[in-house]
Structure 1
Amino acid sequence: MTLNELELDALAELFNLGVGQAADALSQLAGEAVQLSIPRVQLLPKAEVVRQLGTEGERRISAVRQGFHGEIVTDAVLMFPAEQSLQLVQIMVGEAVPLEQLGEMEQEALAEIGNILLNSVVASVGDALGIEFDGSLPEVELGVLSEVLLANETVTEPLLSLQVRFEIASRSVVGHLAFLLDIRSSGRLESKVADFIRRLQVEAP
């Protein structure tokens, strides 16, 4: 799979629209603005994605993983440092809940946050490219960054990585969204993006 600069820019913009919708959803949960970076779109080995997401590949993280299947197959992963997970739960359920109760509802709340964010992004991109996705239930994973992201798969296998950094400033919560596309789906995505660009060019005055 090869994407030229125009195709990479178009794909980044599609995901940018999606993460904007996701940020709005999280902002409503948090009651405050969520800052998002412009997505980085790259075709990389999985090991390189780990390196880019953290200088410490063994750092413990909390993650929500959700698989999406259709013409294109992708794993979407929401990740943030493990020590910040309770802060995210508190965003979801409110300040008044005691800390000990937060721990009990942590996985359920994280799964709900991940479900909102990941589905917002994937649905937006799917609508723009004319792709229907069936999503699996979100799964919460706790572990080191390399294990969670690589999921015991071949680290040299290339994948399309779309990364966006989000930050809730007043809570000091910083995380990443990554969309990991298996190489077998890469050609289909390339074709869909090319069709999208052609439609825009035809519609342009």
Structure 2
Amino acid sequence: MNLTDIELDALTEVFNVGVGQAADALSQLAGSPVRLNVPRVAMISKQGISDELTAQGTERICAVRQEFLGVLNTEAVLMFPVQQSLQLVQMMVGGDIPLEQLGEMEQEAMAEIGNILLNSVVSGIADVLRLKFEGSMPQVEMGPVREVLCGHDQSDMQEQVLSLQIDFAVEALEIRGYLIFLLDVESVASLKTTVRAFLETLSL
């Protein structure tokens, strides 16, 4: 079950509300303006996400993973190429962080960045669509793209996910990340129903 173009356009507007809130919060953390925008929202397979990242020369990613439970249940995964995630942490918290590895402090910083962005986006969705969610603690992981997407079970690479491209601009640094929502069939159906109801309120 997929979302229609009209439903995806509506979700893009909804997501931009949350991304705007995230930009404000991250600007305070960084001490300088952070610009975020969502150029694309799409239903795409995990294989499609892997192909896009690989085409950009990305083999390993840093991901922040968080579960949200409510009317629809989802796992949100925010992903950056490893090198860019380290640059993002540098820009956000300052200091000369070696770009070879994420230490414990840097992982905590990445978890905080992910937590702000994920919760802002989900909060924006909840406010506009009048939903309620409870979120888990964010978890940071690093590894090959396919492993982060599927763990050790590579058989579900054709599973569809709701994907947002998110472009970051912090001072002179420009980063493209991906935020994906893992949704089961039931949750996609609930999302379609909710978005349709939202579109009907706009037409009144």
Q: Is the shorter-chain TM-score for this pair beyond 0.5, marking a shared fold?
A: yes
Aligned ranges 1:32-181 → 2 under 5 Å: 32-55=32-55, 59-95=59-95, 99=97, 103-151=103-151, 152=153, 154-181=156-183
Q: Deviations over 1:85-111 (max 9, x none)?
A: 33333334333xx547x8341111111
Tell me how far apart the structure 2 counterparts of residues 66 and 138 of structure 1 sit (CA, whole Å).
5
**Runs of at least 5 residues in structure 2 that lack an aligned partner in the other structure:** none
Q: Deviations over 1:164-189 (max 9, x none)?
A: 23232523544332233233310000
Corresponding position of 2:201: 199
Is this contact kept in 2: 1:76–1:118, CA < 8 A? yes
Deviation at 1:36, TM superposition (A): 2.7
Deviation at 1:45, TM superposition (A): 2.0
Q: Which moved more, 1:34-43 or 1:62-71?
A: 34-43
Seq. identity, %: 53
Tell me how far apart the structure 2 counterparts of residues 21 and 53 of structure 1 sit (CA, whole Å).
26
Q: Deviations over 1:96-137 (max 9, x none)?
A: xx547x834111111111111100000110111121111111
Q: RMSD of aligned C-alpha atoms?
A: 2.3
- Judged with a 3 Å threshold, the aligned counterparts in structure 2 of structure 1 residues 104 and 191 are, in CA distance, closer, same or farther, namely closer
Aligned ranges 1:185-196 → 2 under 5 Å: 185-196=187-198
Tell me how far apart the structure 2 counterparts of residues 54 and 19 of structure 1 sit (CA, whole Å).
25
- Judged with a 3 Å threshold, the aligned counterparts in structure 2 of structure 1 residues 191 and 104 are, in CA distance, closer, same or farther, namely closer
So what's the TM-score if we normalise by structure 1? Answer: 0.85
Q: Secondary structure at the match of 1:156?
A: coil
Letter in 1 for 2:108: E
Deviation at 1:56, TM superposition (A): 5.9
Q: Secondary structure at the match of 1:137?
A: coil
Q: Which moved more, 1:128-137 or 1:174-183?
A: 174-183
Q: Secondary structure at the match of 2:112?
A: helix
Letter in 2 for 1:59: E
Corresponding position of 1:24: 24
Letter in 2 for 1:141: E
Q: Secondary structure at the match of 1:131?
A: coil
Is this contact kept in 2: 1:86–1:103, CA < 8 A? no
So what's the TM-score if we normalise by structure 2? Answer: 0.85
Tell me how far apart the structure 1 counterparts of residues 114 and 161 of structure 2 sit (CA, whole Å).
21
Q: Which moved more, 1:17-26 or 1:135-144?
A: 17-26
Instruction: Tell me how many residue pairs correspond in the alignment.
Output: 199
Q: Secondary structure at the match of 2:64?
A: strand
